[in-house]
Amino acid sequence: MLKDEVNIIKELPPNLKLLDVEAAGSLITDADLSKEATPDEYIKKILPLLLSNRVVHFLGYGNRLGFDPLPYELQRLRCKCNFHALKFVPEIQQIGSLLVRRIRRYDFARSTLDKQLLGNLIPHVPLRHYHAAEGPSKYLALHLRFEIDMVAYSMCEFGGGETERSELQSYREVHFPLLLERLKKSKPLSPQELRKTGKCPLTPEEAGLVLAGLGFKHGTYIYLAGSDIYGGQSRMQALTTLYLNLVTKEDLLTPSELAPFRNFSSQLAALDFIACATSDVFAMTDSGSQLSSLVSGFRTYYGGGHAPTLRPSKKRLSAILSRNKTIGWHSFEGKIRKMIDEGQRVQVRGLGRSIYRHPRCKECMCRH
């Protein structure tokens, strides 16, 4: 896919194979460059090493050269790489295909999204062969970002009282010591102020209210992406009571099918990515989540305008829910629909936005 852009080789030339890149100073980690480094920084810091040692090894990189300013040709190349050259390995494609077919309950005509993610592993079944009795042909994917790390980092409170506060503080002390140090140097916002400014992740109950407000019926088939929800089954009860047809990859794949991926969180996330990207509707609860952002960008690029993504505004939703003692259901529905409609508007990528999350721009959507 990139043969006309860069030279790609499978191994180093013989005279460089034995070079100790770390000893030579050619091992570049994500600590050696700023996260949003510009091309100029690469030229200044990396090019001299490359000219001197003839090789550099980038280790642990992700989402680099992700923001403006970038020259047109680099934006175009990065877009071509991300949306065309990068593919899942066959093992992930195979289980991802199995997962999607089990969600749909029978083979479904391949969309462009299917083909890009799964190749030919989804059989092409003509539309006239469909029978409603065979199962759902459409599903909603929900990325519910309410794991303990997200909850603890937010500094918000979710009604668990002193037990919850103590548990989350203990987690922060172990996992987020730098966050606690930073908070000591500034005036902390109260949980109420954090919620008003849209800093608190949506709870499963709030996600269910948004979906209900949009008119999704009790029988809607929902694929739930994400890891263990903080609070477990008790926290999920409101959502699972409202939507009975809610499934996860653990429900749809056998332990033996999941076994090869169990110890690799990124590979499990890849299966969620596939199920979310190929869904008829994708709903996220946190627009800053990497998985949600990349799924929405992929759907923008390949969805042809027919792959909607629902992005609730946490700030707007907080304002709506703060009136829960006086607002009627009809009024609530109207406000939720207006909130989502505004997030649905198609816009050209703004300056400084990641091309992975917002591919709609002339360097990218023209699909060089």
Q: Which 3 state secondary structure label does DSSP give 163? A: helix
The pLDDT of residue 283:
95
Q: Would you place residue 224 in the very low, low, confident or very high pLDDT band (cuts 50, 70, 90)? A: very high
- 265-277 helix and 90-104 helix, angle to the nearest 10 degrees: 50
pLDDT in tens, 142-176: 999 999 999 999 999 998 899 999 999 999 999 99
Cα separation of 14 and 18, whole Å?
8
- List, in order, residues 6 or more apart from 199 with CB less than 8 Å away: 154, 155, 156, 189, 314
Cα separation of 244 and 345, whole Å?
30
Cα separation of 112 and 40, whole Å?
37
CA angle, corner 304, sides to 301 and 306, nearest 5?
Answer: 115
The pLDDT of residue 163:
93
Cα separation of 37 and 154, whole Å?
27
Claim: this prediction has a pTM higher than 0.85? yes
Mean pLDDT along residues 52-56 = 91
Sketch the domain layout of the chain as residue ranges. 1-64, 90-145+201-344, 148-196
The pLDDT of residue 124:
60
Residues in the chain: 368
The encoded tokens of residue 160 equal 């668990």
Among 31-45, 52-66, 76-90, 95-109, name the most confident range: 76-90
- Topology of domain 90-145+201-344 in CATH is Rossmann fold (3.40.50)
The pLDDT of residue 104:
86
Range of lowest pLDDT (167-171, 234-238, 363-367): 363-367
Q: Is 30 exposed, middle or buried (0-12, 13-18, 19+ CB in 10 A)?
A: middle
Cα separation of 234 and 30, whole Å?
39
| Alpha-carbon 343 to chain mean position | 16
Per the prediction, the chain carries an average pLDDT of 87
The encoded tokens of residue 346 equal 């198609």
Cα separation of 123 and 120, whole Å?
7
The encoded tokens of residue 302 equal 């390949």
Does the pLDDT at position 248 exceed 90? Answer: yes
pLDDT in tens, 253-312: 999 999 999 999 899 999 999 999 999 999 999 877 889 989 999 999 999 888 999 999
Mean pLDDT along residues 230-234 = 90
The encoded tokens of residue 189 equal 């916002």
Does the pLDDT at position 131 exceed 60? Answer: no
**Residue 310: strand pairing partners:** 283
Query: With the C-alpha atoms ordered 72, 76, 82, 86, is the resulting torsion angle positive or negative?
Result: negative
Cα separation of 124 and 126, whole Å?
6
Using the structure block, give the residue that is written with the tokens 């939720």.
Answer: 336
The encoded tokens of residue 306 equal 């027919």
